[in-house]
Structure 1
Amino acid sequence: MNHVPKRSETAAEHRWTLEDLFTSQAAWDKEYAQAKEQIKSVAVFQGKLADPEQLKACFELEDDLSLHVERLYVYANMKHHEDTAEPTYQALSDKSKKLSVETSEALSFITPEVLSLTDKELDALVSNPALAKYRHTLEEMRRQKAHILSKGEEALLAQVGNVSQAPGTIFSMLNNADLKFPKVKNEDGEEVELTHGRYIQFLESKNRDVRSAGFKAMYETYGKLKNTLASTLNANITKNIFYSRARKYPSTLEMSLYGDNIPKEVYTNLIDTIHKHLPLMHRYMELRKKLLKVDELHMYDLFAPLVDEFKMDISFEQAKATVKESLKPLGEDYLKVLQDGFDNGWIDTYENEGKRSGAYSWGAYGTHPYVLLNHKDNLNSMFTLTHEMGHALHSYYSDGNQDYRDAQYTIFLAEVASTLNEALLMDYMLNKSTNPKEKMYLLTYYADQFRTTVFRQTMFAEFEKITHERTEAGESLTPQELSQIYYDLNMKYYGPGMVIDKDIEMEWARIPHFYTSFYVYKYATGFSAATSFSKQILEEGAPAVERYLGFLKSGGSDYSINILKKAGVDMSTPEPIEQAMSVFEELIEQMEQLTK
């Protein structure tokens, strides 16, 4: 079937059942009207939150209202994603967004008012048994208090808010709207305009000239704007330093980690442990060189396919069966919930006209989670299925075991459950595979995930650390210095067996994540935590599964680092990263065996 079907042509068994959230539009409208009424009643609590009874009633109303708004918002947007061109649900989505903003504004007095209490009053609320259900919330407010300023200063900082978005906005406009790339010859010898989207296709080309031309064209374009791009990146670093000093943090790094209450060691351990294991990355690069049969390995060879695409035709039914089989180590209960998700309208499977691209897991507390896919019958789609079901089951267990307020887990934890499922699927596929070509295809697929998610993101994290520390020490970073720092990191990470092309020194200029500073390390820690869990589950069995399910059930009831620690993954030590590296080493050894 080549044409993309309309939504109305999609079989019911391949659609999610949003009726489980709202049986009809009328039910949505009714709940919307209730929420609008509830918003009006929030204001009565203003000025009364020192009183434990009033505070409890206020928190209860906040939870009730937030849940209604979440349900309304999730339903409206998921309906909109089914067919983004459908005007009814575009309007409903907008309506739900406005309601969400209105709710946030109405509730925005709560935290500042609680924080304006004296330390003694706040301590009394934290230890008040009547507020036991809200203890984590209150402890979190108390922890934040050290960095909250006086009312006047906070008002001033709020006004600076719009200005502080400027570096990111300017970069985004420059990068997405104004930057024009030259034309490059593709595999068929046609001149094609290079774009962000096509860049990766050029780098994945089997033709080396195409890869090289795309690579050079990309970085020469950035090179022409290096002064402007260095200014925007410097402005972003200066903004971070301004906030960290205004809010009395020891450094920008510690300010960024403070929100999730992550110790600085988690960040520094990651970098130090990866440094220790860089020889593994260098070994992988040597292997790449050998498999590509080239005299010199260049930066533009990093995405070139190492083995001929091993065509794996995997229907959705096969994908579900394989995923279920691969997750057997997680025990009966997990499989039962997984099957429930497969059978009972959690998943929207195939592409249709106007449907949102990509994949996600989403939902509202009190109703089972949902998964949006655009399934193709290939290996990637099977990994996407297990990844999104990992998120879905994490939410299912969190919601089933925590109150609304404590069910939401942090971004720091979010990727662990999804990546663990991928690790178990990969382990299953590798053990089952008898075809050396298939095995090699799988091994390179997995090894590249380590390269891009652990090594590359750690290199980014190190770049952020160096640039912030130097600026904090009073140095100014010229475009030349930024390029030198970046080039040296590439030398260090990729090693002597590789030609570090000069052009790569401009790569810092095109990474949007550098405008959301100190965020990328979470990809590397999440992947490492998941790999550590999978290793423990496959080696220890039941006790490790028990700990892991405990992790899934914890939601956001404690700080992320504590939740993981209780489950047997202590990210404040190098151990989980060491365990991930031992898995990476096994992959390389298997690849070396196959290439002998």
Structure 2
Amino acid sequence: MVQKLPNRDEVKVVYTWNLADLFAAEEDFTNSLVDIEQEVQQFSEKYKGKVNNPSIIIEALTDYSAVYEKIVPAGTYASLSLSTDQTNTTAQMRANKFSSLSAKISSELSFLTSELVELPDEMILEASKLAPAFQHYLDKLLEKKKYELHPEVEKTLAAYSASFNAPYKLYNTTKMQDISFDNFEVAEKSYPLSYVSFENDWEAESDPAIRRAAFESFSAKLKEYQHTTAITYDMHVQMEKTTADIRGYDSIFDYLLLNQEVDRTLYNRQIDLIMNELAPHMRKYAKLLQKVHGLDKMTFADLKISLDPTYEPTISIEESKKYIDDALAIMGDEYLDMVDRAYKERWIDFAQNTGKSTGAFCSSPYGNHPYILISWSSRMNEVFVLAHELGHAGHFYHANKEQTIFNARPSLYFIEAPSTMNEMLVANHLLANSADPKFKRWVISSIVARTYYHNFVTHLLEAAYQRKVYERVDQGLNVNAQILNEYKRSVLEEFWGEAVEISEGAELTWMRQPHYYMGLYPYTYSAGLTISTQVAKRILNEGQVAVDEWTNVLKAGGTKSPVELAKMAGVDITTEEPLRDTISYIGSLIDELITLTDVIEHN
């Protein structure tokens, strides 16, 4: 049974991350904000109105990098301390303090971009030749040049950056602080409910009566907040639309895709092909779940159940390291050393506590080690989640060491490739080390139910829904709770067809995901997994050669476009072939699950 979550100050320190690696004491953080503000002022006095030749450009960008390298850990510290307990008023005030300072800094520093885009292209290109480390930054600047506004307008917009981030903060406040879930009852027995317990436990509960009751209770509570959450989201997308319009983009999609360095062809292909061609495979998987569990019908509330809930082993945090070490050993000693440090030096926050952000993420501040948030529930499935986040950590561990602060981060389109790659490596390792049909079925069902379902279904259906929202907003229209519910339900019904009954409340799942406040992010999960699926196959077949090429991709950071990075790893994403092959591979895994189930049931 799920227990009530402890408060943050009640959890064991050993299972929390060590933010002292960023700032040893609160006083150090406060002093850093003062130092940053002073350095920004000095930078402004030194360069404002004087960036007018190639050598000055390089000097200014070098100093700008140094300032930015101090801003990053401060912002990370404020953000991470809040993410572990959003009910903590000190953490809230700290985050607000940094947010206000960040807006002020952005406004003060906005002159640099404004002055650079006013210079002749030839001068920018000459500066790139003088300092290749800044070439990527300057190339992207030239791309954005036509969308830049008057310097005073840019300064004003930057000053409002904290306000532009307000919808996301409001969304999190509603979700993590205002929504308080009631216990739900089944057969006169009471069960506690929270965001974390629902997503970590009740969604996968094997008893259908408890699982469906939890879903109904969870959805009923979400429904009470649907109008506030919808207004919050509409505020966000309207600001994006206004920004796209005043900057002169043809559409909100072009605005949001520019930084991803891909065009709408790759974006639409990912959504359309999966919606059309993966759906039949996943419907077959849903029917398999229904058959194995003997369900009267398959509902949306049943989709996260395990194929064999009696078999899934539990695992301690300490035991998880052995699995991850063994699976990721192929990546080499340096990579394993990073994993070892992550455990030993408390880079990972494993604790479950009230107010902690849901899900899992990895934050990789430049100049510091990565931080991983996860709420460990002791399910073996969590090994895949942790491997995923360690994939992000390994990516930026390499990229941050090899690249400048402006070159380390790749396009959002590519960001999920290294993380999902690790999930594939874990799966391949587990499959290679057991011939037991039940264990094999558990591993393959974990790949399907976690790795592919999460990235190719959950997030992709978010993307299909999100595209409908942006198409509407691009026409100058607003959204409200009714419209968002209709869009979400229509996407779910289109994908699942007759195989799954879309339970009442399923349409509210748009309320659960913070990704909608991060631009066109949801579709990139399947894009990244498409690349990593192909590379994982290469590693299985070609070994060290493919590993070395992949490591070079990680080290390249953001110096190349997603198409170029994929090409370095031997994958051509300018064609449909990698995506079609990945969809076919998912289909083969589901067919294997059906075969293994027949073998197990007849033995």
Q: TM bucket by the smaller chain?
A: 0.7 to 0.9
Pair 1:261–1:325, CA change in 2 (3 A): same
Task: Give the TM-score normalised by the residue count of structure 2.
Answer: 0.80
Question: Does 2:467 match 1:441?
Answer: no
> What are the Cα deviations for residues 284-321 of structure 1, in whole angstroms up to 9, with x where unaligned?
11111111112321122112343224353545554333
> Per-residue deviation at 1:345?
3.9
Pair 1:497–1:534, CA change in 2 (3 A): same
Pair 1:94–1:221, CA change in 2 (3 A): closer
> What are the Cα deviations for residues 178-201 of structure 1, in whole angstroms up to 9, with x where unaligned?
667676314x63356765445444
- Check the 8 A contact 1:48/1:55 in 2, yes or no: no
> Per-residue deviation at 1:373?
6.8
Pair 1:15–1:505, CA change in 2 (3 A): closer
Distance 1:178 1:19 in 2: 30
Distance 2:175 2:339 in 1: 44
Secondary structure at the residue paired with 1:307?
Answer: coil
Pair 1:293–1:261, CA change in 2 (3 A): same
Instruction: Report 1:540-551 matches (<5 A).
Output: 540-551=542-553
- Check the 8 A contact 2:324/2:426 in 1, yes or no: yes
Question: Does 2:253 match 1:253?
Answer: yes
Instruction: Report 1:420-499 matches (<5 A).
Output: 420-449=421-450, 450-473=452-475, 482-499=484-501
Question: Does 2:527 match 1:525?
Answer: yes
| Matching residue's letter, 2:55 | E
Q: Which range moves more in the overlay, 518-527 or 61-70?
A: 61-70
| Matching residue's letter, 1:141 | L
| Matching residue's letter, 1:422 | E
- Check the 8 A contact 1:528/1:577 in 2, yes or no: yes
| Matching residue's letter, 1:263 | D
Secondary structure at the residue paired with 1:308?
Answer: coil
Distance 2:222 2:352 in 1: 37
Secondary structure at the residue paired with 2:590?
Answer: helix
Secondary structure at the residue paired with 1:277?
Answer: helix
> Per-residue deviation at 1:569?
3.1
Pair 1:394–1:159, CA change in 2 (3 A): closer
Equivalent residue number for residue 584 of structure 1: 586
Pair 1:102–1:309, CA change in 2 (3 A): farther
Distance 2:269 2:353 in 1: 47
- Check the 8 A contact 2:17/2:346 in 1, yes or no: yes
Instruction: Report 1:214-253 matches (<5 A).
Output: 214-219=214-219, 236-253=236-253
Q: Which range moves more in the overlay, 337-346 or 76-85?
A: 76-85
| Matching residue's letter, 1:253 | F
> Per-residue deviation at 1:229?
6.3
Distance 1:541 1:191 in 2: 52
> Per-residue deviation at 1:247?
1.8
Question: Does 2:502 match 1:500?
Answer: yes
Question: Does 2:407 match 1:406?
Answer: yes
> Per-residue deviation at 1:491?
2.2
> Per-residue deviation at 1:223?
5.8
> What are the Cα deviations for residues 392-413 of structure 1, in whole angstroms up to 9, with x where unaligned?
3222321332234322344443
> What are the Cα deviations for residues 143-196 of structure 1, in whole angstroms up to 9, with x where unaligned?
11111223465467568867766766666666566667676314x633567654
Instruction: Report 1:69-468 matches (<5 A).
Output: 69-70=71-72, 104-117=106-119, 121-128=120-127, 129-151=129-151, 154=154, 184-186=184-186, 189-191=188-190, 195-200=194-199, 201-219=201-219, 236-274=236-274, 275-310=276-311, 312-314=313-315, 318-330=319-331, 332-334=332-334, 337-338=337-338, 341=341, 345=345, 347=347, 361-362=362-363, 365-366=366-367, 369=370, 378-449=379-450, 450-468=452-470
Pair 1:478–1:566, CA change in 2 (3 A): same
- Check the 8 A contact 2:261/2:411 in 1, yes or no: no
| Matching residue's letter, 1:190 | K
Q: Which range moves more in the overlay, 434-443 or 518-527?
A: 434-443
Q: Which range moves more in the overlay, 219-228 or 548-557?
A: 219-228
Pair 1:204–1:87, CA change in 2 (3 A): closer
Question: Does 2:80 match 1:52?
Answer: no
> What are the Cα deviations for residues 435-484 of structure 1, in whole angstroms up to 9, with x where unaligned?
43333333322211222321222222122222332454467767665544
Bigger radius of gyration among the two:
1
> Per-residue deviation at 1:20?
8.0
Pair 1:60–1:515, CA change in 2 (3 A): closer
Pair 1:594–1:19, CA change in 2 (3 A): same
Secondary structure at the residue paired with 1:262?
Answer: coil
> What are the Cα deviations for residues 487-514 of structure 1, in whole angstroms up to 9, with x where unaligned?
3322221132222345534544555444
Unaligned runs of 5+ in 1: none
| Root mean square deviation, CA, Å | 4.5
> What are the Cα deviations for residues 543-572 of structure 1, in whole angstroms up to 9, with x where unaligned?
322321121110122334432333223444
Distance 1:255 1:221 in 2: 35
> Per-residue deviation at 1:109?
2.1
> What are the Cα deviations for residues 67-108 of structure 1, in whole angstroms up to 9, with x where unaligned?
244456667988999999999999999998787666545433
Distance 1:485 1:18 in 2: 41
Pair 1:154–1:192, CA change in 2 (3 A): same
| Matching residue's letter, 2:259 | G
Q: Which range moves more in the overlay, 98-107 or 387-396?
A: 98-107
Distance 1:4 1:228 in 2: 27
Distance 1:106 1:398 in 2: 29
Pair 1:55–1:160, CA change in 2 (3 A): closer
> Per-residue deviation at 1:542?
3.3
Unaligned runs of 5+ in 2: 1-5, 599-603
Distance 1:208 1:531 in 2: 33
Distance 2:220 2:178 in 1: 15
> Per-residue deviation at 1:337?
4.1
Distance 1:233 1:15 in 2: 32
> Per-residue deviation at 1:424?
0.6
Question: Does 2:541 match 1:569?
Answer: no
Secondary structure at the residue paired with 1:185?
Answer: strand
Pair 1:481–1:192, CA change in 2 (3 A): same
- Check the 8 A contact 2:111/2:155 in 1, yes or no: no
Pair 1:89–1:567, CA change in 2 (3 A): same
Pair 1:96–1:184, CA change in 2 (3 A): closer
Distance 2:465 2:26 in 1: 50
Q: Which range moves more in the overlay, 347-356 or 295-304?
A: 347-356
Q: Which range moves more in the overlay, 236-245 or 76-85?
A: 76-85
Task: Give the TM-score normalised by the residue count of structure 1.
Answer: 0.81
- Check the 8 A contact 1:535/1:579 in 2, yes or no: no
Q: Which range moves more in the overlay, 277-286 or 69-78?
A: 69-78
